[in-house]
Structure 1
Amino acid sequence: MAMKIIIFVVATFVLFAGDVISKRYPPMPIEDCPERCYCRDVDCLKEKGELFCREVDFICFNANVADRLDVLPVNTTRLSIIGENMGHITLDMFSRFFELKKLNLSQNSIRSLKITKAMRFLDFLNLDNNRLCYFPLEEMVKLLPALKILKARHNNLTFLHDIQFPPRLVRLDLSNNHIESPVKGSFRRLKKLEFLNLANNSIREIHPVAFRHLKKLQILDLDRNQITQLLPGSFAHLPSISFLSLRHNRIEFIGQKAFRQIGVRWHGQHQIRLEHNRIKILRKESIDVLFSRRDIYSLYLAGNPIFCDCGMMLIRDTAGDMLRDADTTLCHSPSDLKGFYVGDLDFPGCVEEEEDNYEDDYYDDYY
């Protein structure tokens, strides 16, 4: 009897689930759509015999709708306006869309941006490929409380000082700008941030506490900047980091314990990318804090003018598989070893030092 009841319940669930799935519909085109716009109802399903769509999506290319937003329904939830010459705008113009969640304003030649009215549901804002020189300083925190993703690639941003980003941000992409330095406090409110892209900027130095408050940050991209050195503790307060990329910079010096406590909460694989810099001598004390977890770290050095000596060979041997590209990292000097691979170094006279207690250094002062 019990078995029959179970079979009946399972069968009923399958039928019910199939019925629910059958009620979902693909996006439905909206007939009354402005010229050069693509309009549709999305996330549609049938309830009690009637079709109901949760989202209204408008995508307009060179349609000149910015000056006549009244042609769009007020219940629009996703709006893309691309290819217009907006110049100086205020986000208040979109406040009439009381349910707006996603706003794409890329490629509009926007030079300045203001906001004075709250957009309570906006969680995605794309400002890529404009001409912005700055963000509103304090307004974003109060008036964009739900914002989770902010993209502002390929603009003219130069500084982050005094900017207060919305605290719920999970992804922030400011790549391909002219930012000179992520100063102390730039990201202090972003305790939920998981992804930060600052690649292709003009950053010359990393403030030792620039990233101090980013406890959930997993990916940090600093490729193609002008960074010359990594000061002690530069990345010491990134416990959740899994990918740190510093490729194509001008790094010559890595301070002692620059990577101290990096990724201590992340138990998956880690990558630290240092390829194509100006690192000539890699000192053991610069990376020894990584040795205690060498089985989950991947360190890349190819493209640096490495000076190959006993010290470099001993680092290679201590790092083991952690140094992922030893077989493709070329020696640049001394002259008699130029062109040799670090993975092929063999100095019979080198004596490996007694291994330190790296575990204590790695976790000290964190917990």
Structure 2
Amino acid sequence: MLRGVMHYQTWLMILVLWTIQAAEGCPDVCKCSKKSAPEKSEVNCHKKGLRAFPSRLPPDAWILKLGENGIIDLKANALRSTPKVESINLERNAIKSIHHQAFSGGKQLMLLNLYGNHITSLPLKGFQDLLNLRFLMLGHNQIGSLKPQMFAGMRNLSDLDLPLNALTTLPSNAFKPLIALKVLDLSLNRIQKISPKAFIGLRQLMFLNLDNNSLKNVPAGAFRPLRSLEMLVLDNNLLSMLGSSTLEGMENLQELYLRNNELEHLPPDVFRKMAKLSQLALSGNRLKTVDGNVFAHMPDLKKLHLHDNMWQCDCNIASLVRWMGQTKATLSPRDALMCVSPPELRKKSLSSLQADKLSCHE
């Protein structure tokens, strides 16, 4: 009987201890479960009505799912109790401010998702402890300016997403600490001005997205540091010209998108030293004529989009017509590539023209 009582008391004590540990570890409204290894917990607090970052979390937590709550700010040492955390999802909360020591100690963090909050500015050196961070999602916030100190210490970051913010300028050295960055998304901002030194340090960058901004021009040599760039998206801006040195230094570029801008002229050497270019999109601009030799130095060109321009089909376009007849590149869509003037050739396909029969118009 005594042995039975002792066994019961031992069991009760274990249960109490387990309950206390559980209470200290997992927030009441959340679900905590072991994943893949005994020492790793996944904490799921998605859409649970939280108003603050949980202070009680399992010390072995490696994934925190905190999306779609009402968290307003991130206070200092938010990760103190979770030194092993590798992934934090805080998308679609109401975060307005981030303490500069909020992520202190998060040395194993690899992914941080802050998409869809109300962040207006990033703390200087606020991410400097995140030495292993690979992915930082900051899209759909209200971030209005960038400073290099904001990204201090992030030497392993490979993917920075900043679309749908309120950026108007890219200052000098804006991304200088990000020496391992491969992907940079700056689409759907209000960027009007790029400093000539904005992209210094980004020697590993492979993809740059500047789609849907308000760029009227890009300073000469601004893209020069981007030696590894393979894809550049400049669609839906206000670019009226490309200088001879606008695209200088991008010998590894494979895809260039300039759709829906206001380009009226292409310098003959604008694509020089871009022998690896395989896709080029110039549709939706105001081009009237282009020298066919502009594309002659691209042996790998596979797709070229030239439709929806203001093609003036006279003798000045003859070299382009000749090149079109010789190239193996796909001119997509060929049927939409039409003359706008002179009146007698309006809506006539460029591919049906004969170069030696095009007359000159005063």
Q: TM-score range by the shorter chain?
A: 0.7 to 0.9
CA distance 1:205–1:252, change in 2 (3 Å): same
Aligned to 1:127: 138
TM-score, normalised with respect to structure 2: 0.77
Compare CA radii of gyration and give the structure with the larger one. 2
Aligned to 1:138: 149
Q: How does 1:1-367 map to 2 (within 5 A)?
A: 34=27, 44=36, 56-65=62-71, 66-67=73-74, 69=78, 73-116=82-125, 117-140=128-151, 142-165=152-175, 166-262=178-274, 264=275, 266=276, 270-284=278-292, 287=294, 290-294=295-299, 296-319=301-324, 320-322=327-329, 324-325=331-332, 326-346=334-354, 348-349=356-357
- Greater CA deviation, 337-346 or 220-229? 337-346
Amino acid at match of 1:335: P
1:61 match: secondary structure: coil
What CA deviation, in whole Å up to 9, does each residue of 1:61-104 have, x standing for no partner? 23345557469633211001122222232352022433111100
1:312 match: secondary structure: helix
Question: Identity rate of aligned residues, in percent?
Answer: 26
Give how far 1:252 is off.
Answer: 0.8
What CA deviation, in whole Å up to 9, does each residue of 1:100-154 have, x standing for no partner? 11100011110111133432111211000000001233342x3212211100100
Give how far 1:298 is off.
Answer: 2.8
Contact 2:40 2:62 in 1 (8 A): no
Is the strand fraction higher in 1 or 2?
A: 1
TM-score, normalised with respect to structure 1: 0.76
Cα distance in 1, alignment partners of residues 220 and 31 from structure 2: 47
1:113 match: secondary structure: coil
What CA deviation, in whole Å up to 9, does each residue of 1:2-30 have, x standing for no partner? xxxxxxxxxxxxxxxxxxxxxxxxxxxx9
CA distance 1:36–1:212, change in 2 (3 Å): farther
Give how far 1:341 is off.
Answer: 0.8
Cα distance in 2, alignment partners of residues 271 and 253 from structure 1: 19
The number of residues matched between the two structures is 309
Give how far 1:211 is off.
Answer: 0.6
Amino acid at match of 1:102: L
Contact 1:82 1:105 in 2 (8 A): yes
- Greater CA deviation, 292-301 or 50-59? 50-59
What CA deviation, in whole Å up to 9, does each residue of 1:248-298 have, x standing for no partner? 111111123111101x3x4xx61110000111122345x1xx314345343
Amino acid at match of 1:57: I
Contact 2:146 2:174 in 1 (8 A): no
Contact 2:161 2:184 in 1 (8 A): yes
CA distance 1:193–1:308, change in 2 (3 Å): same
Contact 2:79 2:106 in 1 (8 A): no
Cα distance in 1, alignment partners of residues 323 and 273 from structure 2: 19
What residue ranges of structure 2 are gaps of 5+ in the alignment? 1-21, 42-59
Contact 1:160 1:183 in 2 (8 A): yes
Contact 2:147 2:171 in 1 (8 A): no
Contact 1:330 1:342 in 2 (8 A): yes
2:122 match: secondary structure: strand
Give how far 1:317 is off.
Answer: 2.0
What CA deviation, in whole Å up to 9, does each residue of 1:45-75 have, x standing for no partner? 6xxxx67689822221233455574696332
Cα distance in 2, alignment partners of residues 75 and 240 from structure 1: 38
